[in-house]
Structure 1
Amino acid sequence: MYTSILVPLDGSSHAEKALTVAAQLARGTGVTLHLMTVAEFPPDNIGLFTGGTAEPFSEEDREKLAAGMKDEARKIIDQARGAVDLEGIEVEEVVRQGRPAECINEAAESLGVDAIIMGSRGVSDMRGMVFGSVSHKVSHTAGCTVITVT
C-alpha cells in the first residue's frame, strides 16, 4: 500500500498519536517513516519577539537563534522516538526551517512519500484558531494522501 510516509512532529500529543498510527502501518511492511520537524524562522526583531520595544536584530543573533530553534526541533524527534516503539521500522529524520505547512508539502514532494500522517492539532492551538491549522493547510494543498489523527 505505502512505501514511504512523512510524519510531521511538533511535540504535541496529537503528533505522537499520529506517529503511533504511522508505526502501526509501517511495522512489518518495509515502509520508511520520515520523522519531520520544522523550526520556524527566527523573528526579524528581537525586541518585538521578547515583548519589548523594536530594536535592531543582528545577523549573528539571528543565526544563533535559528541554530537553537533547530536544536529544539531535533529534540522533538528524539522525544517522539522515545515515546513510540519504532523497532524494526526504517526511520529517517528531516529537520527544515520555514513555514510548517509549506515545509511539510515541500518535503513530501522531494521525498516522494505516499502519505503524510499528522496530528489534527499541534502545540499552537490558539494560533491555529486565528490563522488556520497546519494540518488543515497541508490537507488542502498536499499532492499525496493526508491522514489526520485526533
Structure 2
Amino acid sequence: MFKSVMVPVDGSEHAHKALEVACQLIKDSDTTLHILHIPEALAHETTLIWGIGAVTLETTSSELEKYGRELIDRTSREASALGAKHIDTTLAQGEPSRTILEQAKRLGVDAIIMGSRGLGDFSSLVVGGVSHKVSHSANCTVITVH
C-alpha cells in the first residue's frame, strides 16, 4: 500500500501508539519506516525525552543530540521487534510541524502516522497542535492516532 511512511516520535504515549499502528500497517512488506525525532525545549528549561518525559536539563546541543539519538535507537529497536524491515532514522532541529512537513517532502513519504497529542504544553491545545498543523498542510496521507 505505502512505499514509505514517517512516524514522528517525541516520547508521548500517542507517538508510541502511532509507531505500533505504523508497524502493523507495514508488517511483512518492503515499506520503509522513517522515524523522526525533533528535540523540543519547553518553558523552564525542560526538554522532552522519550521514556523519561519532560526533564530539566542544561540543554546544550550535544545533550539534545545524545538524548535524541537514544530515543531514536530505542524506537528503531522497537519498530524492528514489531515487524518493520526497513528503518531509517532522522534527528532534526526546528519548529516541529514545519520540520515534519519538510522531512516528509524531502524523504518523499506516502504517509505520516503520528500521535494526536505529544508532550507539549497546554498552549498547543488552544493554538492548534502539531498534528493539526501537519494534517492540514501535508501533501501526503496523514493518519492521526489517539
Same fold, judged at TM 0.5 (above): yes
Match of 2:113 among 117, 132, 135: 117
How many Å separate the matches in 1 of 2:121 and 2:23?
25
Name the TM-score, length of structure 1 as normaliser. 0.79
1:82-116 Cα distance to aligned partner (Å, 9 max, x none): 54524451101011001010110000000000000
Match of 2:66 among 59, 66, 71: 71
How many Å separate the matches in 2 of 1:83 and 1:127?
31
**Code of the aligned partner of 1:38:** I
1:54-73 Cα distance to aligned partner (Å, 9 max, x none): xxxxxxxxxx7122112222
How many Å separate the matches in 1 of 2:103 and 2:12?
20
Structure 2: gaps spanning 5 or more residues? 46-58
Alignment of 1:126 with 2:122, yes or no, is yes
Structure 1: gaps spanning 5 or more residues? 51-63
How many Å separate the matches in 2 of 1:34 and 1:134?
18
Measured after TM superposition, the shift of residue 49 of structure 1 is: 5.2
Root-mean-square deviation over aligned CA pairs: 2.1
Measured after TM superposition, the shift of residue 130 of structure 1 is: 3.4
How many correspondences in the alignment? 132
8 Å Cα contact 2:9-2:35 kept in structure 1: yes
Looking at CA atoms only, which structure, 1 or 2, has the larger radius of gyration?
1
How many Å separate the matches in 2 of 1:136 and 1:66?
28
How many Å separate the matches in 2 of 1:38 and 1:12?
13
- 1:8 partner SS: strand
- 1:39 partner SS: coil
- Name the stretch that deviates more: 122-131 or 9-18: 122-131
8 Å Cα contact 1:11-1:79 kept in structure 2: no
| Identical-pair percentage | 45
Match of 2:142 among 110, 127, 146: 146
**Code of the aligned partner of 1:23:** C
How many Å separate the matches in 2 of 1:102 and 1:8?
12
How many Å separate the matches in 2 of 1:14 and 1:88?
19
- 1:118 partner SS: strand
